[in-house]
Amino acid sequence: MNWLQMSINSIETIEVVRGPGSVLYGDAAIGGVINIITKKGKGKPVISASVMAGSYGQHNERLGVTGAAGRWTYAAMGENNYIDGYRDRSKYSAPGVGFDLGYAAHDLLNISLGVSYNRVDYQLPGPLTKEQMKQDRRQYQPGLGWWASPSNDDDGRDKFANINLGLKSFWGSFGQLDVSFLYGRKDLQINMPAWFTFADTKADTYGISPKYVLDREIFGFRNKLMVGVDYYNEPYEKDFFTERARTFKSSVAALERESIGYYMRDEFSILKNLIFSAGYRYERTTIEGRLNDISEPDNNFANEKKYTSQSYEAGLTWLWGNKSKSFVRYATVYRIPFLDELAGFSGAGGGFLTTLEQERGKSVEVGTEYCPLDNLKLGLTIYRIDMKDEIEYVGFFPTGYNQNVGETRHQGVEAYFSYLWPQYFKVYGNFTYHRATYENGQYDGKKIPMVPQYLANAGLEIYLPYNIMLKPEVHYVSKAYLSADFDNNAERLDSYTLVDIYLHYKPTFGRLSMAVFAGVENLVNEKYSSFGLDYEQWGGPNFYYPMPGRTFKAGVKFEY
């Protein structure tokens, strides 16, 4: 998913579905799913325009229109996003456009067409050592002998295009049939002299996803049945060159992934306030690949790997009190290796790894959401996910490779709360305890790198007179072991606390509404890194990616 392609102006709602979702969403839906529902036109035309500016040369401009006329609905938007970057050579720009057109052919059929295009240009400043960050944490990697080449000329350009044709057929008491046809194209260009890498990637996605939904009562009890098929064909080609000018092609990788998944899920109210849910998914995936390495013919391969995947889920949800609920759920999950995990065609070792298996897991969740007052919500979830054959990159680039690491366990607790005092304030927060460990093999009992054990967030919305809102937020992330520190014997990535504060003003003037905001992110100028790599195990220094310091932002939006 290219998040830069998704304009905020085009989003109607964002739904976060926590927990495993392999039955409905298939491959990789292990910890949760984000559903983004885009805007559809309705009523009179609504024109929106916004502009935002901030620190480090950031600016963002958006323009959109939505509406409906007769049986037609329409929504169109454009956006330009740009920033010079916190660090030297970290500039990026991301212009994009998109539209959605809908037509209600008659009461039984709706047709929609969505098209989007986005281009991202970016620079890559590279990681820094702690000593280099003390000297200047905003510099690009200046070079460190054998361990790091200068990142003074690394950059890339990505282009994304998507077309989605949707059909909805309404059959009254006999249910509804939704069919989605999609096509996506990615053109990726990477130039990394620091790693002697110059490559062009072309990746297409063809998909069709029919889904039947029957939502009706059975003997007075609510029942919702979903049955569907997901088919995807994804050809992928990557060309490597010896220099930026691309006058000599050194190798060509051609891969293709084809998958088809069948699923069924049902929710049945066995009592008025007790819902039983169950689902099953069966999926077959074939990945074929070949590499023609002109400079190193010994690296050539031509092979394929097939995967058969199954996922189950079953759960009970008890609705009690006014708006409270409790639930228990068991599910199995899976993840098919990515193309560049299965095939070592980017200079990394391993060739085509026919022994690399899919990740599989079992999940158990128990939780409750308690609403003792209309505006007070308290939630608690306890979870455990036992994974088998998780994939990790081992060794040192370019001779390293991906392998299945055996069994791992992710277990913990999530808690959250929110309280709204209308016209005065809203307070909210959440806390996560997450313990991720290896459960067998060489690193039995060790913690998985780059997984912080504690996460906490809290915020307050203060409603002031004249449609003004003050919104401070605090975010905490605990320490974590560096990437590749499997035996937990290196220094850890430091914990950090971020404080953000925003001021919003939302007046209205008839049909014209306005929203003005100003904010400061990382108010206390915390110096932190979100990622670090353990190079000490190979005799070098550890590397980090420093994150931005104090950032000022302000913007205005008009809607008419």
| % of the chain exceeding 70 in pLDDT | 95
3-state secondary structure 38-65: ECCCCCCCEEEEEEEEECCCEEEEEEEE
Residue 171 confidence (pLDDT) above 60: yes
Q: Extract the tokens encoding 21.
A: 């979702």
Give the mean model confidence (pLDDT) for residues 160-183: 95
191-217 confidence digits (pLDDT tens): 999 988 999 999 999 999 999 999 999
Q: Which residue has the higher pLDDT, 257 or 345?
A: 257
pLDDT score recorded for residue 346: 63
Q: Extract the tokens encoding 56.
A: 């480090």
CA–CA distance, 544 with 549 (Å, rounded to integer) = 15
Q: Which of 39-53, 84-98, 493-507, 531-545 has the lowest mean pLDDT?
A: 39-53
Residue 2 confidence (pLDDT) above 70: no
pLDDT score recorded for residue 508: 86
Output phi, psi for 549, to 5 deg: -85, -150
pLDDT score recorded for residue 125: 97
pLDDT tier for residue 218 given thresholds of 50, 70 and 90 = confident
Q: Note whether 497 and 475 are within 8 A (CB).
A: yes
Q: Which amino acid is at 171?
A: W
pLDDT tier for residue 347 given thresholds of 50, 70 and 90 = low
pLDDT score recorded for residue 160: 97
pLDDT tier for residue 5 given thresholds of 50, 70 and 90 = low
Q: Note whether 248 and 227 are within 8 A (CB).
A: no
Residue 58 confidence (pLDDT) above 80: yes
Give the mean model confidence (pLDDT) for residues 165-181: 95
358-400 confidence digits (pLDDT tens): 999 999 999 999 999 999 999 999 999 999 999 888 766 656 7
Q: Extract the tokens encoding 367.
A: 């939780």
Buried/exposed code over 139-172 (b: 16+ C-beta within 10 A; e: otherwise): bbbbebeeebbebbebbbebbbbbebebebeeee
pLDDT score recorded for residue 6: 57
pLDDT score recorded for residue 535: 92
pLDDT score recorded for residue 148: 84
Give the mean model confidence (pLDDT) for residues 14-30: 79
Place of tokens 């195990």: 537
pLDDT score recorded for residue 9: 59
pLDDT score recorded for residue 397: 60
CA nearest neighbour of 271 among 312, 315, 223: 223
90-141 confidence digits (pLDDT tens): 999 999 999 999 999 877 899 999 999 999 999 999 999 999 999 999 999 9
pLDDT score recorded for residue 18: 72
CA–CA distance, 286 with 320 (Å, rounded to integer) = 46
Residue 7 confidence (pLDDT) above 70: no
Give the mean model confidence (pLDDT) for residues 467-488: 96
Distances 553 to 60, 504, 506, 522 between C-alpha atoms, Å: 11, 12, 17, 11
pTM: 0.91
Residue 37 confidence (pLDDT) above 80: no
Q: Note whether 339 and 381 are within 8 A (CB).
A: no
Q: Which of 39-43, 51-55, 234-238, 379-383 has the lowest mean pLDDT?
A: 39-43
Q: Note whether 407 and 386 are within 8 A (CB).
A: yes
